[in-house]
Chain A
């Protein structure tokens, strides 16, 4: 085991994979000379040279489409989005080309491509730079969507995503880049589609992905002091989703809270609710509650931003409510 940051774990994953396989290239804005907008690609240009670490102009649609085309004929591109907000400009190529090529060619062209970069809110980045857009990608058959929360998962899942022969949307978090954690030494791969119980418990299941995992674990630690044992489950991969692990937890605890940073309407958590009501209807002792981002564009002001994001107290309140205990000002949404 080594202790490292989430950022270093991602860097190691790319470095190891690029050493292993010469068909892998990294392209995006500022990934080379500048060492990455968030320094995730630090040192890669030095090691692999400008043929494999490609600085692009600010042209998300263009370089993402270029990556998809290259992936049709043997290159395995990693396309970095400076942040996922800008992936909206590349949505046509991700959704209309990458996700559909295999199907509409009758199985002839697979797209081994990773589109990665940070999603979600940072600190006071305001409306256009703070979005959690995973639900947009999760909706699309043909894509895989991965959202690691810990350094170990960041490394293991990125390596697996790079080896996957399908287009993978890999959403990191700016706020997580500096977090530290243990990462197993040596070749470390984490399978896609396998959730992880990050904290076992018997009373309530809290499902949380990406940086909401940290909020959930924080709430769980508090609640443990009150004698409430929360089981925290991180799906890690949103598509394919490990339904079985979610259901097993629900069948044990009979109560569920979902924490997600994205907007409430049609969000990722709504999908969890659907699979749980379908697969564990008779096990539920309370309606499922969701703690989500507020249903508004992200405000700039510190206090307002804080109100817009799921926080520990709101998770705790939701847990009290699914236990039918008196929480303070408990609310499901927003």
Chain B
């Protein structure tokens, strides 16, 4: 923090970090060969778990068992899985309301997450948060925030705290591409760069903010360039390639942990479903054929194919994995369904703490 009050030094152009980082090189198969086998299998399982969990959430929403706004992560799994594969257990995670995936990948119990979606006492936030407000203190999961961009200054704050306490923790902060136009994004990036905070900002560019494509909201499409205004390291990555995300994040997480410096990463991805459960997957803002075309780049299909091609998994393994994941989701639903609603007494608790 020595810089916070230091006299402004004259900017050295050579310091400017706005040259983009290198997008991950090589094919997915080449990347897979460099990684640990167990890790690869875990990542595939996580992606599949998120996919099946979200499909089930959609079902329960249609049945009226999940209420409110419910934003699914289907199509974006590679981002959370690749990014969180680079973190340590005591790192901090902040996300938006589209956070079921991040929560599950972070190791939160699928039953407790599903129970939260269903508004049950056994939910991770005791049924008081819902789909958009998942929290888990033990896992450094600092929420699910539903004001666009609201989590970005919070993440800078958690990163400030770890710097203040001289811990080697890193904070990861996820948000959508529409959030780069909001003031809190810019204020937070400036503070994070100025105070050299150990945080990685991950913009999940799924191409739309509700029904508005990025081109109708910003004149700049190479979004990580926004970091240039704050002299911050930046890069972009194919967000449908889980191992590319992992490699890109590794570098940024290292930069945060070793050098206490922030990075902005744009992960280019796509959401296959509607904005929320009340929005159809296609209609007036995008066509069915566009969605179908994007689905050809399904991150799970791509990753599975790469692992098969390298002989790391085979069909038998995949069948077993599919069954295992479906069982986990069924169990999560059963847990949520048999859990009681919050006690009416809970209405007035947790407003203030002693």
Contacts and interface: CB of A to CB of B under 8 A. Distances in A.
Nearest to B156: A66
A104 B190 contact: no
A70 B135 contact: no
B285 interface: no
A79 to B, nearest CB: 10
A293 interface: no
Contact of B123 (A59, A62, A74, A106): A106
A75 B354 CA distance: 17
B353 A107 contact: yes
Interface in A72-98: 72-75, 92-93, 96-97
B194 A57 contact: yes
A118 B152 CA distance: 27
Interface in B161-178: 161-162, 164-165
Contacts of B147: 92, 96-97
A153 interface: no
Interface in A47-73: 50-51, 54-57, 59, 61-73
A73 B153 contact: no
Interface string B125-163: 111110001011100001101010010111111111110
A103 interface: yes
B188 interface: yes
Interface stretch (B1-9, B45-53, B68-76, B209-217): B1-9
B264 interface: no
Contacts of B153: 61-66, 68-69, 93
Contact of B4 (A55, A110, A141, A144): A55
Contact of B125 (A57, A105, A141): A105
A107 B147 CA distance: 20
> Chain B contact residues (Cβ within 8 angstroms of A): what range?
35 or more
Nearest to A63: B191
B351 A141 contact: yes
A54 B94 CA distance: 24
B191 A59 contact: yes
A105 B158 contact: no
Nearest to B127: A106
Contact of A72 (B5, B123, B142, B350): B142
Contact of B5 (A50, A57, A104, A110): A50
Interface in A34-57: 45, 50-51, 54-57
Contact of A73 (B136, B156, B158): B158
B80 interface: no
A166 interface: yes
Interface of B: 1-2, 4-6, 92, 94, 123-129, 133, 135-137, 142-143, 145, 147, 150, 152-162, 164-165, 183-184, 187-188, 190-191, 194-195, 349-354
15 contacts: A45-B5, A51-B164, A56-B191, A63-B191, A66-B154, A67-B157, A68-B154, A70-B164, A73-B161, A75-B160, A102-B353, A105-B125, A105-B128, A106-B128, A166-B353
Interface of A: 25, 32-33, 45, 50-51, 54-57, 59, 61-75, 92-93, 96-97, 101-110, 141-142, 144, 165-166
